[in-house]
Structures are given as C-alpha cells and as structure tokens.
Amino acid sequence: MKPIRGVGRFARHQSANVAIIFAGCIFFIMSVVGFAIDHNMHRSAQAHVQTALDASGLAAMKYYIADPSVSDDDLQTAARDFFSEHVTRLEYASLDPLNLVRVGDTATLEVNGQMPTSIMQLFGTDTLGLYAKSEITFRDVQNVELALVLDTSHSMGGTKLAALESAADEMVYQLIDPSSTQIRMSIVPFSGFVNVGTTHSDSAQWLDIEPDRTATTGGQSCTIDESWANANCPSTSYECGQDGAPQTCTRPDCNGITVPADMESCTSHSSTLELKWYGCVRSRPDPHYKTDTLYGTHKVPGIVTPSEETCAPQMQTLTNSDTVLYNAIDNLEARGETYIPAGLVWGWRTLTNPLPFTHGEPTAAFVNSGNIKAVILMSDGENSISALSDGTHEGNSQHNADTLTKAICTKIKNGKIDIYTIAFEVSDPATKVMLEECASSSSNYYEASNASQLTDAFESIRHQIESALAISG
C-alpha cells in the first residue's frame, strides 16, 4: 500500500504551528507575571520611601525644637542624614538627595529616584520612578485629639480585620501615654450603623431612643417542587451580593404560572421578635444628618433591633487610657454593610463639644491655640447603602452616599479639623477619588493593597502627628 503523500508534511506543519502558539502563550504568561512582580516591588519601595521621608520630617522637627534659630541648610542636612540611615531596604534603588524647602512655618520634603525592573526591561522599561513628599509645620503644638474611624463591615472579615487591629494597636502603643492627656484618642467602628453604647439613655439631651417592643410577623409560605419550577417557570435575575460587592444570581419565577396542586405545598407561620436597644443609631433627617448642631430640636434616633449584630461594635469616646483603647480595638467584629457617612459623622462628634459628648475641648479655641484635632478614616470598599430623607438607612444609592460623605468631609475640614484617609484594598475608582478628596491634602491620602501597606499608612500618619508635637526623645 502506497503512503498518502503530503500527510507527513501536514503533520510537521501542524506541529510547528502548535510550537509557535505554545511559545507565544508562555511568553505572554511570563510577561504578565513579570509585570506583576515589578509592580509589587515598586509599590513596596514607594511605601518604604514615604515612611522614611515622614520620619525624616519628624527628625527635622525635633532638631528645630532644640534650636529654633537653626538654618534651613542645617535642617536639610539633619533630614538627609536621618533619611539615609533609615532607607535600609532599597540598596537596589537610586535616590536623589532629599530636598527640604521651608516657607514660613511650613517645610516641604521631597525625594525623587528610580528603581531597576527585572522583567519589564525585556519590554523596554528599564526603571520605574520613585517619589515621596511630606510636609511639617513648625508650630508649638501641645495637645492632640484624634478619632480613628474604622470600617468594620462584612468585607473586613478574616485577615483584613486582623491587619487593622494590629495597625491600630501599634498606633495606640506609640502615641498614647496613660500618664499624660497630651494625646487622646477615640475609636469609632462603623458598618451600616454606629453603636454609641447603651450607657446613654433618653435622659441624654441628644438622643431619642425607640421603646423596646415585641414585633410579630406572620403569613403563608409556599414551596414549589424545585424540579418542576426549573422546568416550567422562567428564570429571573436578582442581586445576591452584600457589602459593596454585588453579584447577580438567578432563580425560577413562577408568578402568574398555574402550579399543579401536587407540586406546591403551603404552610402558615408566625414569629415573634424581641426588639431592644443595643446602642444602635441611625441618621437624623435631612439636612441634619450632615451637621453637628441643634441636638435639642433634632435628636439622634436610637433604633431597637432584634440583635446587637445589627450594628458595628460599640464606639469609644476620647480617652488617654491605652487599656480602654486596646479593649475597643480587640472588640472589633466584621458585620453589616458599608455606610461611610455614619462612621465619619460620629468620629467628628467625638471631637466636638458640648454635644453629643463632652470629652473634647471646644474646637475653635483648641485649634486656634495651635493644637490639633484630626480624623483618621479607613475603609475597604464603596458605600453599599445610603440614607433616605427621613434618616433611615434603606437606600442603595452609592452616588448619594458618596455625595454625603464629601459634604461631611467639607464641614469637618471647614471646622479646622484635619482628615487623613486610607483606602484599604479598594478597587472601586469612584471610592478612591472620594476618599482622596475627603482628605485634608493629597499627602493625607493613602492607598494600601495589603496588610504591610496598611501598617505603613498608619505609621506614616503617626509620624505626621508626632512631627507636629513639640516633643523630644
């Protein structure tokens, strides 16, 4: 039997094509992995440079405090020496000398540089730029009131919550001295609501608590044979995600469909819910849900719920007790939806006086004397619910919640309170923009894509606060 001519050549051609395609796939995969490696190394290097620069600003501040007549050149030398000693993980990077420029009571520190790539150089990109900027203010600050406003919604569960607790604990450890009232801190966890604590009652001038009550629900529930429903009822889509991460699911919709009697079973049911006051509060009606005044005529609604799980863990007002703050952080739990305005407005309220709390110093006199009030806002995702005009948190408009967040931020900043914001593993571009605009300046906004970068962000903020304090050591 004669062989069929051409088959061998066809096979060899096919083999060559497969080899070419395989090589192309391998090349593509390696390039994607290589880009990811270079990108992660760059983000880590960038965070390290920023942290070292912030610490250098603190060193320059302490140098100035020791000798207010020090020259700008000497300040720059002090900052450069400190920076060189503390940029220890970037031997592979090339950094220009730190530049310090002082104008009046403010000094700006900047560092430029570049780092080599590993894989990206195969595609023509040999280096990636590094840049960091920090500001210090030369004022005789003696006291600080600081509110940590922390997202504890459902998406913060697991390792993310552990990372937050670790970063917050370190900030308390570094800043709080129980023997001194120089720095006091509040902790305000938030999800869809805020928990002000059950120590407050209707006797509080600012709070109007719903009475505890029993709610009875009842009705008839019917179940259609699943196999029959899948075969005879059209499919319908519905939102099945939560906490700012919507997902679309499908299920059979038998409305308007005649279901055979033997394919449907119905039962009557009733249940009783005990609704109690667990410290949960919702917003005041519009426009008072974005203000911090007029509590006598527009009180905060305290809502009763079937479980304390409805709210975030209980907040902690201003204190200089490290033990109390550690306990508040240890009690953090991830639950509920994300509603940033709730946490933001209550962080603001912990810093003001006289209502709803009396722990903070009167803002105008305190800040005008050179002291600092600041809010640190951390969130891991977009607003997933919104408030309606009556103050109930039953809306689902991210746009409305974002707009309200920006309005509250503006009011806080107009009241001479600084705002720092941290976007922790946030993927939504609109949320990133909102958080950056909320911050007092671009240098007060941080993005963190992992636990290490979250720690760096808190550390950088701490350095900024310390650099403003007239302390030594």
How do residues 81-96 score in pLDDT, each as one tens digit? 999 888 876 777 888 9
472: confidence class by pLDDT, cuts 50, 70, 90: very low
Q: Does 467 have pLDDT greater than 80?
A: no
How far are the Cα atoms of 222, 328, 330, 331, 400 from residue 324, in angstroms, in the given order?
A: 51, 6, 10, 11, 35
140: confidence class by pLDDT, cuts 50, 70, 90: low
How far are the Cα atoms of 64, 78, 98 from residue 71, in angstroms, in the given order?
A: 9, 11, 16
List the beta bridge partners of residue 314: 195
Of 278, 312, 305, give the one whose Cα is nearest residue 156: 312
Give the chain's domains with CATH numbers.
1-138 (no CATH), 142-223+266-473 (3.40.50.410)
Start-to-end CA distance of the chain, whole Å, equals 96
18: confidence class by pLDDT, cuts 50, 70, 90: low
Q: What is the CB neighbour count within 10 angstroms for residue 199?
A: 8
Residues 359 and 350: beta-carbon distance below 8 Å:
yes
Q: Does 11 have pLDDT greater than 50?
A: no
How far are the Cα atoms of 87, 164, 458, 466, 471 from residue 55, in angstroms, in the given order?
A: 11, 21, 13, 9, 14
68: confidence class by pLDDT, cuts 50, 70, 90: confident
Q: Does 5 have pLDDT greater than 60?
A: no
Residues 446 and 46: beta-carbon distance below 8 Å:
no
Q: What phi and psi, each to the nearest 5 degrees, are found at residue 121?
A: -65, -20
Per-residue DSSP letters for 296-342?
A: TTSPEEEEEES-GGGSPSBPEEEE--HHHHHHHHHT----S---HHH
Q: Does 471 have pLDDT greater than 80?
A: no
Supply the pLDDT for residue 7.
Answer: 47
Supply the pLDDT for residue 245.
Answer: 61
Q: Does 473 have pLDDT greater than 50?
A: no
Rounded mean pLDDT, 135-148: 83
Supply the pLDDT for residue 32.
Answer: 64
Per residue in 403-429, is it b (16+ CB within 10 Å) or e — as a string? bbbbebbebbbeeebbbbbbbbbbebe
Rounded mean pLDDT, 453-468: 90
Of 297, 246, 294, give the one whose Cα is nearest residue 428: 246
Q: Which of 71-80, 114-123, 135-144, 281-290 has the lowest mean pLDDT?
A: 135-144
Q: Which of 153-157, 230-234, 361-365 has the lowest mean pLDDT?
A: 361-365
Supply the pLDDT for residue 320.
Answer: 97
Question: Which run of H or E residues covers position 178?
Answer: none
What does pLDDT average to over the chain?
A: 87
Q: Does 276 have pLDDT greater than 90?
A: yes
Sort strands 207-209 and 300-305 into parallel, antiparallel or unpaired: parallel
How do residues 375-421 score in pLDDT, each as one tens digit? 999 999 999 999 999 999 999 999 999 999 999 999 999 999 999 99
Residues 304 and 321: beta-carbon distance below 8 Å:
no
For residue 257, what are the contacts with CB-CB under 8 A and spacing of at least 6?
A: 232, 233
Of 418, 436, 343, give the one whose Cα is nearest residue 387: 343
Q: Does 442 have pLDDT greater than 70?
A: yes
Residues 45 and 90: beta-carbon distance below 8 Å:
yes
- Residues 13, 140: Cα–Cα separation, whole Å: 80
Q: What phi and psi, each to the nearest 5 degrees, are found at residue 47?
A: -65, -40
Rounded mean pLDDT, 164-168: 98
228: confidence class by pLDDT, cuts 50, 70, 90: very high
